[in-house]
């Protein structure tokens, strides 16, 4: 059978990935530049017996998917800057109550209403720390539609594996750009379903008692096990508790289950990194320009490459340190005021040799933008 080949927007590639991963339920609210995700899912989900609901606001959308996840469904919402801000409290709830869900944030310029129809990567730190309190989070990104598809599938897999919200940090250029997508055959890409409890009926089930491997098998609402779910610190039954040991243990569990698995969660790509003296660390649509430049300069014999990050949180500190160990300079290419830059500086041995190449005016950063700074760093003049 010939492969299904499409020429589509990035937002639709995300939809294809979500459906491939087994999405059952989507709740959303229209917002540029993510709206196409909702539009396509409103058409596609009912065709496969899934449910789509347009809620009254962004908060309601986030909460509705959490409710649906508890009945055993694979769930998702999509948004952009202002909507992502509104969703933060409920994202924290999903962290605390350990409820799998996927949130796509197709980034636009901020703060506030900002630059709705133009590109930005300004929500990197918001994805990490947008909700209050200590917690861990998984955030993924991609720079082309094949990867958008793949990373969306991964987002569902990781959400179900770690019982956590997973954030897809796309951007306006990726969301709206059209390019080719080859949809894999069923079975070609691994799909992870959530672990469900084997505790039989009438035996006490502890929804929040981690197994030895840290995982917590779930039981669907409507099933044989009735338990409590809360955003308060809670004991193994899910019942509220402020017992210091319970509070301490739960918070550590929430952070450790993700941060201790950074190696398993890390996703990245190398482009021309072999023997590279100058390394560009980039992600999302910025990475396209970085890769383009690296290709051109390599053709001219320059030793330059790109480390493309596809997982931003938990930040792959060890990976960045290792890959950049022999670089004369590291250029972080991103469309914000240096949000990943700070992480890279903290990761490498020589932070003074890490430079920011950014663009924050709503225009996609170009290979020429990067080249101009590269020349200065290389001592070749302006």
Partner 1 sequence: MPVKDYLRERFFPHMWCPGCGHGTILNALIHAVEGLGLNKNEIVMVSGIGCSARISGYVDFHSLHTIHGRALTFATGVKLSKPNLKVIVPMGDGDALAIGGNHFIHAARRNIDITAIVMNNRIYGMTGGQFSPLSGPGVKATTAPYTTIDSSFDVVQLAKAAGASFVARSTAFHVKEATEMLTKAITHKGFSVVEILSQCPTHFGRKNKEGDAVNMLNLYKDNTAKLGSKALEEKPHLIPRGIFVDSERPEYCEEYDKIIAAAMKEKAS
Q: Which residues bind partner 1 (CB under 8 A)?
A: 24-25, 27, 43, 46-47, 49, 51, 53, 55-57, 59-61, 63-73, 75, 89-90, 93, 221-224, 226-232, 237, 239-240
Strand partners, 282: 308, 333
Shortest Cβ 130–partner 1 spacing (Å): 15
Q: Which is nearer to partner 1, 205 or 315 (CB)?
A: 205
d(CA 202, CA 61): 34
Shortest Cβ 228–partner 1 spacing (Å): 5
Residue where the block lists tokens 């055993």? 72
Residues 6+ away with beta carbon under 8 Å from 138: 155, 158, 159, 162, 164, 165, 166, 167, 258, 265, 311, 313, 314
**Coil vs helix vs strand at 26:** strand
Which has the closest alpha carbon to 368: 302, 290, 300? 290
d(CA 323, CA 325): 6
Q: Which is nearer to partner 1, 39 or 259 (CB)?
A: 39
Q: Which is nearer to partner 1, 73 or 118 (CB)?
A: 73
d(CA 242, CA 251): 12
Shortest Cβ 204–partner 1 spacing (Å): 10
Q: Which is nearer to partner 1, 89 or 259 (CB)?
A: 89
Q: Which is nearer to partner 1, 27 or 183 (CB)?
A: 27
Residue where the block lists tokens 């991964």? 154
Shortest Cβ 223–partner 1 spacing (Å): 7
Q: Which is nearer to partner 1, 202 or 352 (CB)?
A: 202
Which has the closest alpha carbon to 269: 348, 151, 354? 151
Which has the closest alpha carbon to 336: 77, 178, 125, 122? 122
Instruction: Give 92-142 as a DSSP string.
Output: HHHHHHT--EEEEEEEEE-STT-EEEEE--TTHHHHHHSSSSS---EEE--
Shortest Cβ 190–partner 1 spacing (Å): 24
Q: Which is nearer to partner 1, 114 or 231 (CB)?
A: 231
Shortest Cβ 47–partner 1 spacing (Å): 4
Shortest Cβ 124–partner 1 spacing (Å): 25
Shortest Cβ 168–partner 1 spacing (Å): 19
Q: Which is nearer to partner 1, 71 or 350 (CB)?
A: 71
Shortest Cβ 201–partner 1 spacing (Å): 9
Which has the closest alpha carbon to 287: 318, 310, 312? 310
d(CA 371, CA 290): 9
Q: Which is nearer to partner 1, 198 or 299 (CB)?
A: 198
Strand partners, 8: 179
Write out the two tokens for 127.
């994805």
């Amino acid at each position: 059978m010939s492969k299904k080949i499409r020429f589509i927007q990035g937002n639709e590639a995300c939809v294809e990935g979500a459906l491939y991963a087994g999405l059952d339920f989507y709740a959303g609210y229209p917002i540029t530049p993510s709206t196409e995700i909702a539009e396509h899912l409103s058409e596609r989900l009912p065709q496969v017996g899934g449910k789509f609901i347009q809620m009254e606001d962004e908060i309601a959308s986030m909460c509705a998917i959490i409710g649906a996840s508890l009945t055993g469904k694979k769930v998702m919402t999509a948004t952009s800057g202002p909507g992502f801000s509104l969703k933060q409290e409920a994202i924290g709830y999903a962290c605390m109550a350990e409820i799998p869900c996927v949130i796509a944030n197709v980034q636009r310029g901020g703060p506030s209403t900002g630059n709705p129809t133009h590109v930005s990567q300004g929500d990197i730190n918001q994805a990490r720390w947008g909700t209050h309190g200590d917690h861990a989070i998984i955030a993924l990104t991609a720079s082309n539609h094949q990867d958008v598809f793949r990373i969306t599938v991964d987002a569902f897999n990781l959400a179900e594996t770690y019982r956590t919200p997973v954030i897809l940090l796309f951007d306006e250029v990726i969301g709206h750009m059209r390019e080719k997508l080859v949809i894999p055959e069923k079975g070609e890409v691994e799909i992870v379903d959530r672990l469900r409890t084997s505790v039989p009926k009438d035996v006490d089930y502890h929804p929040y008692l981690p197994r030895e491997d840290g995982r917590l098998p779930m039981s669907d609402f409507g099933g044989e096990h009735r338990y409590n779910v809360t955003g308060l610190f809670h004991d193994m039954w899910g019942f509220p508790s402020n017992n210091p040991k319970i509070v301490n243990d739960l918070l550590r569990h929430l952070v450790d289950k993700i941060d201790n698995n950074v190696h398993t969660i890390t996703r990245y790509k190398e482009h021309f990194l072999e023997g590279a003296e100058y390394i560009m660390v980039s992600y999302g649509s910025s990475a396209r320009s970085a890769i383009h430049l690296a290709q051109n300069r390599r053709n001219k014999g320059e030793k330059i490459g790109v480390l493309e990050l596809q997982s931003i949180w938990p930040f792959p500190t060890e990976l960045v340190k290792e890959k950049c160990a022999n670089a004369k300079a590291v250029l972080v290419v991103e469309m914000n005021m240096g949000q990943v830059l700070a992480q890279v500086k903290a990761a490498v041995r020589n932070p003074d040799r890490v430079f920011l190449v950014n663009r924050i005016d709503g225009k996609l950063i170009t290979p020429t933008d990067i080249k101009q700074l590269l020349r200065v760093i290389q001592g070749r003049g302006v």
